[in-house]
C-alpha cells in the first residue's frame, strides 16, 4: 500500500527511477519549447511524459524545482578562447544568441527568469549564476587579465554584468537575431571602457 515516500527519507534513502526522471525532464523541456512558460503546467508535463502527477510531485516539490533541473541539464554554450578579449566576447555573444535561438535553452532560460519573479528558489539560483567571476563572461575577462591584456584593476563583475544585461534584454525582447555588427559595436563600447584610462 505504498502511497507516498516518507518525507524524512525523501532526501536520504530515496532514489528516483532514472528512466522515469529522464522522461519527465525531457517532457518538461519539450512542453516549454512548444507551449512556452504560459503553457508549462505539471499536468501538461505528466501527460507528455506518460507519467502520473504524483510521480512528479514526489521528486520535485515545486514547478520551480523542476524548471531548475531542466535548466541545469541544458548544454552549455561554447566559450571561445582566441587569446583576444574582444574576439572572445563577440564570439561568446554570437554563440550565446545562436544557442538561445536554435536550442531549447532560450525558452528554458526565459521561463526561469519568469519563474524567478514569484519563486524564491528560482530567484536565488538566477542570482547565483549571474555572479561575476562564475559567469562565462567573467571567466573570459579573468583570462584576459591573466595574460596581461587588460589591467588587473578592471572590475570583471561590473563588465560581466553589463554584458549579461545586454544578453538578457535581447532574449526577453525577442531580439536574438541581431547581426554580428550590432554585437560587435556593443562589445566595442564596453571594451573602450576597459581600455581607456580611468577618468
Partner DNA sequence: GCGATTAAACGAAACGGCCCGTTTTCAAGC
Partner DNA sequence: GCTTGAAAACGGGCCGTTTCGTTTAATCGC
Where do contacts with DNA occur on this chain (CB under 7 A)?
1-6, 9-10, 13-17, 20-21, 23, 39, 41-44, 49-55, 57-59, 62-63
Residue in the block written with cell 515516500:
5
Q: Which of 73, 82, 158, 177 binds a copy of itself (CB under 8 A)?
A: 158
| φ/ψ of residue 137, rounded to 5 | -65, -40
Binding piece for a copy of itself, criterion CB under 8 A, among 25-33, 46-54, 145-153, 188-196: 188-196
To the nearest whole angstrom, how small is the minimum distance from the Cβ of residue 121 to a copy of itself? 13
- Residue 70: CB atoms within 10 Å: 25
Q: Which of 3, 8, 12, 38 binds a copy of itself (CB under 8 A)?
A: 38
* Cell representation of residue 187: 562589445
* Cell representation of residue 107: 525558452
DSSP characters for 89-136? HHHHHHHHHHHHHHSTHHHHHHHHHHHHTT-HHHHHHHHHHTSGGGSH
Distance, CA of 98 to CA of 68 (rounded, Å): 22
The answer to whether 181 contacts a copy of itself (rule: CB under 8 A) is no
Question: Could you say which of DNA, a copy of itself, none residue 174 binds, taking C-beta under 5 to 8 angstroms by partner kind?
Answer: a copy of itself
Rule CB under 8 A: which residues touch a copy of itself? 36-38, 110, 113-114, 116-118, 123, 126-127, 130, 155, 158-159, 161-162, 164-166, 168-170, 172-175, 182, 185-186, 188-196, 199
Amino acid at each position: 500500500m505504498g502511497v507516498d515516500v516518507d518525507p524524512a527519507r525523501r532526501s536520504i534513502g530515496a532514489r528516483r527511477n532514472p528512466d522515469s526522471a529522464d522522461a519527465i525532464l525531457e517532457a518538461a523541456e519539450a512542453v516549454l519549447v512548444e507551449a512556452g512558460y504560459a503553457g508549462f503546467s505539471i499536468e501538461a508535463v505528466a501527460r507528455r511524459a506518460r507519467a502520473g502527477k504524483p510521480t512528479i510531485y514526489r521528486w520535485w516539490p515545486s514547478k520551480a524545482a523542476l524548471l531548475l533541473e531542466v535548466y541545469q541539464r541544458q548544454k552549455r554554450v561554447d566559450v571561445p578562447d582566441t587569446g583576444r578579449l574582444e574576439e572572445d566576447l563577440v564570439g561568446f555573444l554570437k554563440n550565446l544568441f545562436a544557442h538561445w535561438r536554435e536550442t531549447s535553452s532560450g525558452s528554458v532560460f526565459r521561463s526561469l527568469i519568469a519563474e524567478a519573479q514569484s519563486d524564491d528558489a528560482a530567484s536565488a539560483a538566477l542570482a547565483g549564476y549571474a555572479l561575476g567571476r562564475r559567469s562565462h563572461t567573467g571567466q573570459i575577462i579573468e583570462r584576459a587579465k591573466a595574460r596581461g591584456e587588460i589591467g588587473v584593476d578592471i572590475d570583471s563583475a561590473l563588465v560581466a554584468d553589463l554584458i549579461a544585461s545586454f544578453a538578457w534584454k535581447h532574449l526577453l525582447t525577442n531580439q536574438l537575431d541581431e547581426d554580428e555588427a550590432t554585437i560587435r559595436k556593443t562589445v566595442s563600447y564596453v571594451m573602450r571602457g576597459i581600455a581607456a584610462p580611468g577618468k
